Structure 1
Amino acid sequence: MAIVDKSTLLVLGPAAWILLAALLVLAAAVWRLALEGSPAQMLVAGLRALVQLAAVALVIAFLANRGAWAFAFVGLMFVVAVWTSGHRVAPSGRWWMAAVPLAAGVVPVAALMFAAGVLPFNALAIIAVVGQQIGGAMSTVTLGGRRVRDELAVRRGEVEAAVALGFQWPAARLMVGRPVAGEAVLPSIDQTRTAGLVTLPGAFVGMILGGATPLDAGLIQLLVLISLLLVNSTAAAATLWLACRGAWVREPA
């Protein structure tokens, strides 16, 4: 018999686990047959998510009343994000440079939220809000970094022509890279524009289920969405800045 939990929107039970396995196998099949990807990559991602979410749930429960330790956990999240984005953008280069755009996007916004008193010194709040910001910045750095990198490679002739006309290398790369760098921020803009129309964001639904008023839940979700706009825009700008200065790659001697 399925377990009905009033605190969730879905019916949990054995059917949920069977469905999870079926969805993962189907995703791996489509990834392999239609997109020629490695099915192992998809399967490992799903299994890792299972293990990691279980571990994170236990850690968050332990940190519930330990605000200072939450920063250590957020620091771990940041390191993993740097590793992930960095190896996507510069797998054989200076992948650790991903820390610059990630920090540029997350740190100022989180500091503003703390300074305004909106983000309390509470472990669950810190992990939830700053964790979302790190995740958003990570996706932006990955998408923006790869997009700018590929554009500079394809249009290298235009960059060299601009340098021949007297432009410095960073300025020449900027003319090519700037129009595409902002594409990494478009998903955040669309998510914000369509909030409440296309999807109901997770924080909003969670607050409603937790007993918050619709107005309070909407304000909290709006704070998260708007903060992500600033985080992701800043991360994309910093990613472009690094790419224009050749910071991601090791220049030949």
Structure 2
Amino acid sequence: MEGSTLLVLGPNAWLLLAVLLGLAAVVWRTALGRSPVQMLVAGVRALIQLAAVALVIAWLSDKGPLAFAFVALMFLVGVWTSGRRVAPDGRWWLAAVPLAAGVVPVALMMFAFGVLPFSALAIIAVLGQQIGGAMTSVTLAGRRIRDELALRQGEVEAAVALGFPWQAARAMVGRPVAGEAVLPSIDQTRTAGLVTLPGAFVGMILGGAAPLDAGLIQLLVLVSLLLVNAGAAATTLWLSCAGAWTRPRTRPRDIPAGKTPR
């Protein structure tokens, strides 16, 4: 195979990027009724950020301890991104809880088993994927639960009137939809090698790694993401049902059964 990349790069690649981003913005505006600026800004930011990150990672390649500082920055950006999606007017910083609940235990297990080496490139690549997966799960689960609780508030109040605690009443509504945030990860894992070839797997094959080794590494990444995303979604459910994202004027536990919160 000629070249070191799967796609042919050059001036046409940059032209195609502009066309794809422009068309995405048009569909986003005309079919979905959203501001095209969001789509355009996302594409430009991705370009700038990827260029900067590539330079930083190259500089960190032989500086293992500093990789954790970069991962911490990634974590903070993930908290800001997910938190502002779930609770734009509330305690958005609490997104750090489900993100950490998903990522930290899995990362510690990978270090403990000796699977993840103390190499800057490995740490950034693996933990970066896990933070990204957890961020997506927190966003999807948090917004889905929030909307469902607002839509079915009457059912929650009815359960409280029957004697259920507020958190348990909310969980009856939120739990069935919280797991939907993990479905994309499950589908990606189920169809790996059949519908999609994950980027890490393809990159290792092109880099000369043995196919079985590449497959095992990609499987570790995919399965670790299942636990990361499930843990993040479960913690998001707990926070949502506890009413932690907002600061209510009257705490649910102070409201007698049969009464509705103000």
TM range (shorter): over 0.9
Which of 213, 222, 246 is matched with 2:219 structurally? 222
Quote the Cα distance in structure 2 between the aligned partners of 1:169 and 1:7.
57
Quote the Cα distance in structure 2 between the aligned partners of 1:42 and 1:99.
26
Which of 53, 77, 88 is matched with 2:50 structurally? 53
Q: What is the one-letter code of the residue matched to 1:219?
A: L
Which of 142, 157, 161 is matched with 2:158 structurally? 161
- Aligned twin of 1:27: 24
- Aligned twin of 2:255: none
- Aligned twin of 2:68: 71
1:170 aligns with 2:170: no
Q: What is the one-letter code of the residue matched to 1:243?
A: S
- Aligned twin of 1:185: 182
Q: What is the one-letter code of the residue matched to 1:222?
A: L
For residue 7 of structure 1, report the CA deviation from its aligned partner.
1.0
- Aligned twin of 2:82: 85
Partner-residue secondary structure (3-state), 2:105: helix
Task: Report the TM-score, using the length of structure 1 for normalisation.
Answer: 0.98
Quote the Cα distance in structure 1 between the aligned partners of 2:32 and 2:249.
34
Partner-residue secondary structure (3-state), 1:117: coil
1:252 aligns with 2:252: no
Which of 236, 241, 244 is matched with 2:238 structurally? 241
Q: Deviations over 1:33-75 (max 9, x none)?
A: 1111101110000000000000000000000000000000000
- Aligned twin of 2:4: 7
How many residue pairs are counted as aligned between the two chains?
A: 250
Partner-residue secondary structure (3-state), 2:204: helix
Quote the Cα distance in structure 1 between the aligned partners of 2:212 and 2:110.
19
Q: Deviations over 1:97-120 (max 9, x none)?
A: 000000000000000000000000
For residue 6 of structure 1, report the CA deviation from its aligned partner.
1.4
- Aligned twin of 1:194: 191
Quote the Cα distance in structure 1 between the aligned partners of 2:90 and 2:141.
16
Quote the Cα distance in structure 2 between the aligned partners of 1:174 and 1:57.
42
In the alignment, is the contact (CA less than 8 A) between 1:204 and 1:221 conserved in 2?
yes
In the alignment, is the contact (CA less than 8 A) between 1:5 and 1:11 conserved in 2?
no
Quote the Cα distance in structure 2 between the aligned partners of 1:39 and 1:108.
39
Quote the Cα distance in structure 1 between the aligned partners of 2:166 and 2:210.
54
- Aligned twin of 1:141: 138
Quote the Cα distance in structure 2 between the aligned partners of 1:126 and 1:119.
7
Could you list the runs of 4 or more consecutive aligned residues of structure 1 that deviate by over 4 angstroms after TM superposition? none
Gaps of 5+ in 1: none
1:44 aligns with 2:32: no
Quote the Cα distance in structure 2 between the aligned partners of 1:67 and 1:53.
20
In the alignment, is the contact (CA less than 8 A) between 1:181 and 1:240 conserved in 2?
yes
Quote the Cα distance in structure 1 between the aligned partners of 2:116 and 2:187.
25
In the alignment, is the contact (CA less than 8 A) between 1:151 and 1:177 conserved in 2?
yes
Quote the Cα distance in structure 2 between the aligned partners of 1:28 and 1:171.
42
Give identity over the alignment, percent.
80
- Aligned twin of 1:110: 107
1:98 aligns with 2:98: no
For residue 5 of structure 1, report the CA deviation from its aligned partner.
6.2
Gaps of 5+ in 2: 251-262
Quote the Cα distance in structure 2 between the aligned partners of 1:5 and 1:54.
24
Aligned-residue CA RMSD (Å):
0.9
Partner-residue secondary structure (3-state), 1:121: coil
Which of 117, 120, 134 is matched with 1:120 structurally? 117
